[in-house]
A and B are shown apart, each in its own frame.
Chain A
Amino acid sequence: MASQSQGVQQLLAAEKKAAERVAEARKRKARRLKQAKDEAQAEIEKFRQERDRQFKEYETKHLGSQDDIALKIKKDTVEKITAMNKQVAANKDKVIVRIMQLVKEIKPELHINAKKEM
């Protein structure tokens, strides 16, 4: 009967529409999940750039202080050596006198083993 096939057609059409609706929902879900990745990526990148900026600040600060330390050590060394030179200049003659004294001071002594033999 004509009405039978019409009914079946109506049902088939409804099924088709239903399936499309569900398929669309699935597509939306897939897009939403991709969005999650993209948005996460953007946030992560923003965070990374900020952290990197902080790091560069840190680096610059530390490199700067390194130069200061080098200068200070250099200055200290020069001071030490200058002071040493002054001291030596002041004490040198005294020292040479003492060395000469020791060199000329000869105490002829019998070797300790020789003493035992006697």
Chain B
Amino acid sequence: MEPNDRLSLDAWANPSSSCNGLPRKMSLENPSFTNFNLQQQEQKWDDTSILNYGIRIEPPFLEFNQASESEYLLSSTCNNQPKVLDQEDGLNNEALQTSKSLDWDPRTMLNNLSFLEQKIHHLQDLVHLIVGRKGQALGGHDQLVTQQQQLITADLTSIIVQLISTAGSLLPSVKHKLSTGPPNGQLGEFLFPPLAGMNCVPQPQHGSGSKAVQPLQHGSGSKAVQPQCVTGSKVSDQCNQMDVTGSFGTEQNLSIEEHEMKEEEDADEGENLPPGSYDILQLEKEEILAPHTHFCTICGKGFKRDANLRMHMRGHGDEYKTPAALAKPNKESSLEPVIIKRYSCPFAGCKRNKDHKKFQPLKTILCVKNHYKRTHCDKSYICSRCNTKKFSVMADLKTHEKHCGKDKWLCSCGTTFSRKDKLFGHIALFQGHTPAIPLEETKGPSLSCDKMDGNEASNKSGNINFSFGSNAGGGAQNIIEVKEDADDPASYFSPLSFDTCNFGGFHEFPRPTFDDSESSFSFLEAP
């Protein structure tokens, strides 16, 4: 429990600050609670990127738009109802809920639960997203972020509405109090962990009583990672915002529409898709660059694909083995007419950024990832063979490595080409560029070099000075390259290359070459 204690200490500050009104009796359970809370936060930190979340967020949103346009207002009011309820009912509810749910037909209950679970996963993802947003926003952000946040909260509300409605319909014969209770409770269980950032207040109340939360807590309790001060502050921030969820929903609805209108205008210029035929999503930098995008809510393990995560989840219990749990989460929504999604690059000024005048949206999240890495990131993958080509996308490096070494057509500017005609086209295009000559035919000069030195030993120095002097212009460049490569002679084409470069035919040659410096001589002498 040591970590838990520590965590709780850290976490205490936040809930307590915002949750002053909470009954103090909870304090006993709070440690585990905050712990849980934090764990979720931590996970969110881990998987700041939400590649697939975007996709998964979408269907419920659609559903919502389509199915319950009228309900929306309702739902939005409903939205805070549960919370109000939560707050009001507090602990009493929970106790009831747990006992009642056990009394109920377990099979249907399981099915219902799994469905709800799915929904809650959506929610979770959504909140992950929000947290990711927040992270950025903290980094010092702007209107964009708030816009996106509004988008997400809108999605959230829609999912919550779904949850409520399904949960309600699943439990027809329960007493009114119960019928609202359990779903609320479940909602709470699943909702709050992810919502932690938003609703600090209700969360402790529910979590304390819910059985579903408990195992989660325990499973990851020990794992729960070091709480970060950042999360704390975030939590408090969000608390303030989220307290007013009810009115929020409607407001956001409006703002979303506005937002969409804007994007449509942008899209008009950029793509040939008719306006309104697609939505624009913009992921944040951290999300784009995150290595994993799907995280296990139990153990925190990250995955690149949701399918893999689902497979992984089977290990956490039988409830994850049901066909419903293993099915693609958004399958059900495939019945709905699909609105095309397009993506925007978060880099301001980029042509792929939705604020650009000639905005050209990116088609998939993979496109976003690759585009962002290629254009706005450092190229950190260096080809180990040529030591010159750099890539920011691993796949690009691998593609290059397949051809590396075959790119034997070099320009004096350092560009390599796999085809001679491409090189010549390049040379024809650029003033002053010339092809660099490969370092193969070098034996002749080496002979003559020796001869020269032998014949005129007396004026050898002058001789050499001169012959190398001409290279001085390009010398600097070469020196660097020599130094770079000094410890890796194997990367040279052949030791003979010394001769050629020595005589300075090639200042422009971009590959590592020897210079006329002393070092080149020492190299010659060394075997």
A complexed with B = no
Chain A contacts to B: CB under 8 angstroms: none
Chain B contacts to A: CB under 8 angstroms: none
